[in-house]
Structure formats: C-alpha cells, structure tokens
Chains A and B, each alone.
Chain A
Amino acid sequence: MGEKADVWQGTLALMVLKTLESMGSLHGYGIARRIEQTSGDVLSLNYGTLYPALLKLEQEGAIVSEWGVSENNRKAKFYKLTRVGRKQIERETDNWEQTTAILSRFLRGTEDPA
C-alpha cells in the first residue's frame, strides 16, 4: 500500500506543481478542478487528498501560500510556485518521462511476439 500511495502522491505533486506553473497563483479548489479538466475529466480526484499533498509541498518549500479572495468573492488560500518548486518540476518531469519510456518499451516488448 505504501508504494502505490507514493507513486500516486508523487504524480499528484507533479500535477499540482505543473498546474501552478501554468496558472500562476491558485487556491486548492481551483487546483483540483484544473487537474480534473486537464485530464479531460477522466481522472476522478478525491479533493481531500490534495490538501495533505499541498501541505507537504509547502513544508518542502516547493510552494508558498497566502490568503486572498477568489473570483467569486470567497476567502481562499492561494498557492504559488517557488524556485525550488520549478526545479522540482524539471527533475520530476525527467523522472516521469524516463519511467514512462521504460514502461512503454516493456509494453511494446510484450506485444511483439504476438
């Protein structure tokens, strides 16, 4: 269970960071919605898991937060990428691409003999 969660969390963190990179500053609900939209509503995200992930990123210094007001006038906490966060995106993107490349090679390899 721990391993799966790690992979998922790592992926979620990357998605959050990437979202913040393209959107600038955004609140938790906005991030969740944006991730769902980007996935073409294929990914069904449990919004609750997002908040510990945000806290972790903040503790690691990848993002910072500040209170503000949302487009529809609600008080909300806005998250913003930091330099540490940008570096993390680069690193994790590389990792992810490498992982998917390896995995797709495996997937192709099992298909070939057929």
Chain B
Amino acid sequence: MKRLRAALRRLVGMFSGGRREQEFNNEMEGHLQMHIDDKVRAGMTAEEARRDALRKLGGLEQTRQAYRERGTAPFFETLWQDLRFAARQLVKNPGFTITAVLMLSLGTAASVAIFAFVDAALLKPLPYEDPRTLVDVTESVAVFPHANLSYPDYLDWKKMNHSFRSLDVYTGAGYLLDTPSGVEPVPGLRVTDGFFHTLGVAPLLGRDFYSGEDLLSAPRTVILSYSAWQTRFGGRKDIVGQVVSLSGTPYTIVGVMPDSFEFAPRNNAEFWTTMHAGGSNSCDLRRSCHSLVGVARLKDGVSVAAALADTKAIAQQLERQYPDSNRGQGATVQTLTEAFVGDIRPILLLLLAGAGLLLLIACVNVASLLLVRSESRRREIVVRGALGASPLRLVRQFVTEGVLLVLGSTLLGLVCAVFASQALLRLIPKDMRLQMPYLRGLGLNFHAVCFALAIATLARAIFSLTPIVRLSFGEMREGLTEGSRGSAGVLWRKIGANLTVLELAIATVLLVGAGLLGKSFYRLLHVELNFQPDHLATLSVALPEKIYTKDEQIVAARRQLLNRIAALPGATSVATTSTLPVTYNGNTEWIRFVGREYNGEHNEVNERDVTANFFSTLKTKLIRGRFFNPDEDGTKPRVVIINQAFVKQYFSGQDPLGARIGDTTLSPKSIKEVVGVVDDLRESKLNEKTLPAVYYPADQSPDTEFNLVVRTTQDEKTLLPTLVSTIHQFDRGIGTSEESTMFRYINESETAYLHRSSAWLVGGFAALALLLGMIGLYGVIAYSVGQRTREIGVRMALGAQREMVQRMVLKEGGRLAALGIVVGLVCSLAATSLLRSMLFGVHSWDVGTLAGVALLLAAVALLASYVPARRAASINPVEALRAE
C-alpha cells in the first residue's frame, strides 16, 4: 500500500520534474544559508562556513542527483525520454514515417478486416445451445453427396439410430399470404415438432411446438420469425393465439422467435409450421421422394464419425428392406457448422492468407526502410555509444521507435479495418447476406482486436530486431574510423537484398493466385450455357391452390396468362419452367427404360416441366426430333425431350428417338416417349457439371408454381413491373416473387459472387504487393547505388563507359528480381495446389498465368532498377571522388 502510493507519486513526479527541481533548489539554498549562519555565529569566516556546509552536504550535485532519482521512476523516465526522442526522430523524417505507417496500416487493415469475416464465419460458434454436438444429417447418392432425406426414411432413422438424442427435419415451404398490397408468396419452413428443442432455442413469445404437433391429425400451428412479427403484425404482444391464413389454410400462431434467432440455410423463412406429413404434399409419404434435411443432437460422448457409421448402417439396412426406393441411398453426418459455413471456409482462408502475405510484404518493406535508416544513422549511434550510451540503452531506443511506429500503424490500421470490413459487407448481395446471418454482428470485436495486437507484437519484434541485428556492436567502434562504410554497405546489401528477394517471391505467389482466380472467374462467366441469356426477364409465379384445384384449371389459366404476356409490347416470346436454368442441379427423378434390363440402380436425372416454346424462348438448339407442341396436355400421349448429356450417358451409339422411359416401377401412367434431343442447356450452377436432364410438357404434369421466362426486345428489367401488374390484373390472388433477369442469375449467383470477390480481393492484394515489391527493389538498388557512388566514380575515372555502369546496376536488380521470381514461382506451385478446390476450368499450374506473372514482375523489376541505373550512369566521377 505504502509502496504503491510512493510508486504512484514517483510516476506522477515524472511530469512535474521542473517544478520539483526549483523547489529543491530553494530548499538547498535555505539549508546552506542556515548552515553558514550557524557556523559564522560560531566564529568561522563566511568562506570557511560555506566550504563546511558543502562538505557536510556531500556535494550539491550528488545530492541533487540522488534527490532526482528518488523523485521519479528512472525506468519510466528514460522510456518517456526515449519516446519523445523517437517521436522527434520520426517527425524529422516525415517521408520515412508516412511511408512506413501507411504500408503497415494497409497490411494491418487488410488482414484485420478479413479476419473479422473469418472470426464471424468460422470461429464464432453457431448461436445454439452447445453447437458442437449439433449435426446436419442427410442421405447421399452418387451424384449428390448431400442429398435430401425422405420422410419415411427419416422416421426409420429416428427410430433405429443409437447416436442421436434427437433427430428432426426441416424443408422449405412457400405460402401465399394476403397482405394489404396484394397476395404475396412468403417463404416458410415446415419442421418436425422437436426442431427448436433440438437446436436449443426457445421462442421469445408463446411456446415451442408440442410433441406430436407435427402429425397430420394435430391442429395447424405456426411460429413467427421476429421480423415477420414486426413487419407483418406490428409487433403486437397479443399475437399469440391469433389465426393467420397461409395459402387459404388457417394456422394458429403459438409463438414468436427472438430477434437473435437465425437459421442460415433458410434465414428468410417468416413462418415456421409443423410438418403435417401426408396432407396436400404428395411427396411426404413416398419413400422415394427426397425433400428434407435433418438436424440432430448427438448423445453425450458420441462422435460425428460414430454417428455417421451408425446412420450408414441404418441406410444399408433400409437398402435391403426397400430395394426399389433405397438402393444407392447412403448417409451423411457432418457438424452443423460444417454444413453452414463449409462452402465459404476455403475462400475466407484464402483471403486471409492473401491479406497475411500482403502484411508480410509490408513488414519486410518497412524493415528494409528501417535498415536503410539505421545505416544512415550509423554515425549518430556510434557517437552516442562513444559518449557512453550502453548498448542496451541504444537498443532500447530502437525498440521504442519500433513500438511507436507499430502503435500508430495499428491504430490507423484498426480504423481502416472497420471501414474496410463494412465496405466488404455491403458488397455482398442482400440475398447472400441472408444466408450468412453470422455476419450480422461483424465488426471490431474482442477477437479482432486481439488479432491486431498479435500482428502488432509480431511487427514490433521484427522492427526492433532489424536494426539490432544490423548494429553488430563490435563494429561500433570501427564506425568512427574512416572508410568503414564500404564493408558496412556490403553487409547491408546482403540483408536488404535478401529481403527484396523475399518480397518479390511473395508478390509472385499473390500474383499467380490472383491470376488463377481471375482466369477461373472469366472461365466461369464464359462457361457454355447453350442458350442466349440476354434480354430474358424471369419471374416466379404461384397460383392459389385453393382456387386452381384441377389440372385443367391450371393449364387453362397458364395458357391465358402466357397469351396476355405475349401480347405485351416488347415481349417476343414467353415460356415457363419448373426450375430456372443456371440455378442448380436438383429436382431430380429416377427413370427406367422400357425394354431394358433393370437391376434397381438409380438413373438420377434432372427433371424439368417446361411449356412448348421454352427452348425457342431460350434459343437452345434442337439436336434431333422435335420440340413440344403447344397443345400437348394430359389428353395427348406422354412425351419427353432429353438433353445431350442424357444421350451420352444412356444412349451411346443408339438412336434415342422413339425410346420409352418411365418411373422405377414402369407404371403405365409414367411411360413417356422420347421425341426430341436438345443441346446441354445449363441447368446447374455455373461451376457444376451438366447432368442428364429430361423435360416434360408442363401441361402434362401441371403445377401451381412455375417460373416465367420472357424474351424481350427492350431492356428486360423494365418489363418486370409490367409483368407483375399484368398477372395481378388477370387474378389478384396470384402470388409473384423473385422478379429478376437471366443475367442476374448468371452474374450475381452465389458461385459467380464468390469467384468474383475472391478474384478481386486477391487481385487487389497482389497489385499492392507488386507495388510494394517494386518500391522495395527500387529502394535496395537506389541505396546500393548511393553507397557505391565512390566506387562507380573510380570505375568511371578508370575508363568505364556509362552504358557499362548502367548495365552493372541493372544486372544487380535483374539478379535479385530473377531470384525472387524463381523462388516465387516454386512457392506458387505449392501454394496454388491448395487453391485447387476453388479453381474452375484452370489448372493450378496454368502455364499462361505463371509465364504472365513472371513477365509482369520482370518488367516491373526492370522499371524499378532503371531509375537508379540511370542515376548511377550520370554520376560525375570527379565530384564522386571529391565528395568522399
């Protein structure tokens, strides 16, 4: 306590040194005078008395020194002095300081901003109770490693497993909701009764679903999402117990989820209803109809691997039990985290690595700047050493300078990181952001600050060490002697040159990465679509099921609707499809060929219901046979069109026209005849493989939900509002949503976005790295020319030609650049093999990219060495010799 108080007062004393000194002088003055007065009174002369007083005091200066040391904290006092001195030094060299701080804060900002995303997406646990024991459970088939579960399979898995404390399933559902602005299709989710309980989240208002509430016999209930409660029901507290009509069916609202609740795969769901399997949805009770995703909580001590083995065993048993429907149906169990963020992880890690490399280059650059500075401050240091500054004291000065530099850069970097991460966040399309609820709280949290501090510590260590390594103390004394600069220059050139090679190598790696990603993005956007994506407006349409109950009604309504739209000015052609192109592989069907042997394997093909002029609207080529006829409905013989991939897989060398296919049991109703073959119209996402596909006439299997595709002569976006109003004029009960264009699906799809953003970001890092590498190389060469001025002067005096001098300097730069590029290319080969999973249509050892990067770097290196080479060649030998 006492000591603490004393220490505090000493610390405070540091800042009032001047006043204390003055007071002490006054006190001493009084002391000496009193002493002298006493002695004079005792008979001494004034002179003797004064000498006696000073002797008894033990020397005025020593006393003052002892007093001063007691008055302050010497360690902090020196630190304070060092800090002020360091600040003065940094201010004196604004060029150096600004460059160093900018480079460092740039590196810090980039890596902290990316880290914020990594932290939010990969490090922060999911917002559920004990998320480590939550798993995502699905089936798997040959073409889809994560295929959906069927409801009967789910029931069996739930009953037979020994690994899950609970297993629940969810599936997307769309409802038509009557709103003041008309009927709106709203997204929802159908879940089994224990869904929220399994996640370990409780409603904000009302209650969770009761056990058994998901059965068909139970009354229909719904839980609202927080945003639906707020926007659609005004946040009314008395909402629980009220009834809401979804697609014409009344549901009792039993609860409201909290604002913090999020469910990444379907975060836009507004209504959470119970399963009610076996109701209107004909898919539910079929074992072969896969539409569900499972989420389960593991029992204590059960690992994911054990749960997977358990589930696989059940799947095998079901395969034996139900060979018709379950052959080839495996199982997948992965952590829920993996299921939610698995796709984005490699990209984030890639970006973090890119930002880290940029930071490294920035550090190396600043370190070499510090080296140059320590070189030019050599004399100052030697003089201070000669005047008695201990090596430790000198080192402390450098460390302090490093700390100050890093501190400033880190603060600036953190501020920039906040802006950068917010800007990056805004760049993510809204639809995608919905799937990434974990980015909601993105910002400078505790983790990000710790990360920044870790970077700062590392940078500080590098910067403090660089000049220390440089300052080999044995040499210090030699520093005062003449001519020692030559050898020092050589030593420095070695370190500086190595740093430059490192810098160029890193820049190479980043450039190669960016080149590959850019190329892969280009390939992605230019992937063969086999249709013309321009001037296509798209819209999702849902007819109210309660009104349009019969197939004929749907067919008639759709035909009338299409006629009206076709008559709109600007519309040249209009069609519908059950699934829009370039969206995904899925909505598959198992088929079987009439007249061929069948062993129960699943011939899994994409299935689409399209209207007659779908292919002509999209301008997809007909390869063989014919398109559908406009009047091909349920009264006509059943027909099917297949794509080239289908022909390749199932009809190699045979004529598919006239062949007949059906479902796995070949039920008479399902038999259809192949009447046409179309080009491989891209149904899948851009980076996925084209699967065999079958197209059915939409009028032979009518559905109340379909997607409109309209080809226009004008800008397709301007047609969208007219489309919506035309449909509502026809029937205001029809729901429309997802007004978009085919270009948007291509350019703003998640795949395109991820490829584009990674290509741009890594490209940005690479460009900065290139710039920094260029500055670094320039610095090294320019400095070495400066050091060798005299040597060059001697050479020229002895008859060296200017071109020779220029070539000599260029050669030095070229050697460093070549070394850097070669090392960089070798490292890139290793680094980019990690990139492989993210590349599309490009090999990680793409020769063009590697060669392009090497050329670019060589050109930049030439440019960076050319300026100092010119300067070297223009040295006046007479002046150079005289200057020394």
Contacts and interface: CB of A to CB of B under 8 A. Distances in A.
Given A47-B58, A59-B10, A61-B5, A27 B34 contact: yes
Given A28-B31, A52-B66, A72 B24 contact: no
Contact of B9 (A30, A47, A59): A59
A11 interface: no
A48 B63 contact: yes
Contacts of A60: 2-3, 5-6
Interface in A10-64: 27-30, 32-33, 45-49, 51-52, 55-56, 59-61
B692 to A, nearest CB: 88
Interface residues of A, number: 25
Contact of B37 (A48, A74, A77): A74
A55 B30 CA distance: 17
A49 B67 CA distance: 9
Contact of A70 (B9, B30, B66, B69): B30
Contact of A55 (B5, B56, B67): B67
Q: Most A CB atoms within 10 A — which of B34, B62, B63, B71?
A: B34
Given A56-B6, A56-B70, A60-B5, A47 B31 contact: yes
Contacts of B48: none
A49 B92 CA distance: 42
B62 A74 contact: no
Interface string B54-75: 0011110011001101110000
Contact of A76 (B2, B9, B31): B31
Given A27-B34, A59-B10, A76-B30, A48 B70 contact: no
B66 A51 contact: yes
A30 B33 CA distance: 12
Contacts of B57: 46-48
B50 to A, nearest CB: 14
Interface residues of B, number: 30
A29 B31 contact: yes
B58 A48 contact: yes
Given A47-B31, A52-B66, A75 B10 contact: no
Given A47-B57, A47-B58, A61-B5, A55 B70 contact: yes
Nearest to B23: A77
B56 A47 contact: yes
B30 A51 contact: no
B9 A46 contact: no
Contacts of B71: 55
A29 B70 contact: no
Interface string B16-53: 00000001101111110111011000000000000000
A46 B24 CA distance: 17
Given A51-B63, A55-B67, A59-B6, A29 B58 contact: no
Contact of B35 (A29, A46, A77): A29
Given A59-B9, A76-B27, A77-B23, A49 B34 contact: no
Contacts of A74: 30, 33-34, 37
Given A47-B56, A74-B37, A29 B69 contact: no
A16 to B, nearest CB: 14
A86 B455 CA distance: 52
Contact of A51 (B34, B38, B67): B67
Contact of B62 (A48, A59, A61, A75): A48
A59 B69 CA distance: 13
Q: Most B CB atoms within 10 A — which of A32, A55, A61?
A: A55
Contacts of A56: 6, 70
B67 A72 contact: no
Contacts of A48: 57-59, 62-63, 66
- Give the 6 A-B residue pairs with the shortest CB-CB distance, closest first: A48-B63, A48-B58, A52-B70, A59-B6, A76-B30, A46-B58
16 contacts: A45-B56, A47-B63, A48-B58, A48-B63, A49-B66, A51-B27, A51-B28, A52-B66, A52-B67, A55-B71, A59-B5, A61-B5, A72-B37, A74-B37, A76-B27, A76-B30
Interface of A: 27-30, 32-33, 45-49, 51-52, 55-56, 59-61, 70, 72, 74-77, 84
